[in-house]
Structure 1
């Protein structure tokens, strides 16, 4: 970080540096930019002095440090916070890793009150939560759930008083688009409507009643960049015969575990105490994985 800082690329990965901004200057004066890395509550709560566990309390403690530093700077200093967080109102995709703590992932936008602009990262789709709080999204797609995303970045102009004078979405280059195709294999191979997707990354869902012979090889003859093959045979009663993957799609680990408990109890779900124990177990596993990952990178 110290070496690359000299080239004008600023990395902020240590929670201890949250209150130390990168200061830039333009015609209207100074702009203090504060970088907030992803803050795993169980790992940084004590370091930041958060009064409660959870993402909201940890981010609130981090923002207290930001506001304290900003208050000590000359009047009129504008401020920008860059934060890795799941903020309420954002729409997730299948690509982001789970940052749920105790079943709660999102934090309110009010956590970031007191600064002029908040540039968010974590969610992969560009979106505006308020005129001063936005996700740019990822510059590339990381799963087929992002097939309809327009990959962009935000170009923001801050006025002399810190107001958002202009906000423009600038398109990122898309070296190869995504496409989701669905149908019987012979139809996918013959339908001219799919010609525009021959150079796309492909997720193909085959609906043949009987699994075709060597489908991937046949698909890649027409669509050489096929990455993902799904089988969903057409059936009269899709609900009763839905695949295991279909039943789990879009559900969190906690929801899947709760459903399992309800199943083995013949409809009896978890009470509040049991749900807290289950959430705590998932949090412990995720924290252990985060610690292992961090220590393995040293």
Structure 2
């Protein structure tokens, strides 16, 4: 696959952001698909990928060998042959310098698919696990769909560009629908549920966590009693609503600490802690590290 171009998102020591290289994809379409492995460059050659970085596009890696260790949003995952790793826009991740990445990689630019498809495929379900373990039948279907997508991607002579792009969107949608079903099934098997109460709460937290950390405020906003909200969130995640909110706040704080050179106080303010001391206490309580120590470990 063609090289991507990395841009230094913040200057200085800031963690680099990788934009989708639409100018390097075949015919300039908003996706790429091809092999990982020796002799094929599918990421920027000048970037230290073993350091934490952020992407603004989707990456799906289907591994043919393993194990491979990969960090996504500060959690370590180990993938082996037949596993898939789905990294979404805005997530921070880090490649393993010690492991070989072999298999097929798909990258996709936000906006390449229509909104209805985006919603149907759950492209921005950040609550779903990034590492997926398909069974034999699921893996066969996913490999077949991905191989078809790759054939369409590489066929640049059969159709005019407009039809070529339309066919790619249909083939990509077929693959992503299978992938989304696998992700949702994996989530349910792990104890998650598609309960409407929890879904509404999750979406409200995603929109409001930077300013609203109150369970009661979310319950009032959604028209539920606090008790109903507690039951729904615990059934879906095994956590309390407060634990769910705090986890999202900590994740965003980690992203900002890793990705930007913002002062610690401004990071705290960005996630709802105007007082830097309160933010540091909160962060240490949930990570057993100070914000400064966490940032230093990643740099």
Give the TM-score normalised by the residue count of structure 1.
Answer: 0.28
Determine which structure has the larger strand proportion and give its number. 1
Give the TM-score normalised by the residue count of structure 2.
Answer: 0.28
Task: Please tell me whether Structure 1 or Structure 2 has the larger radius of gyration of its CA atoms.
Answer: 1
Higher relative contact order (CA 8 A, sep 6+): 2
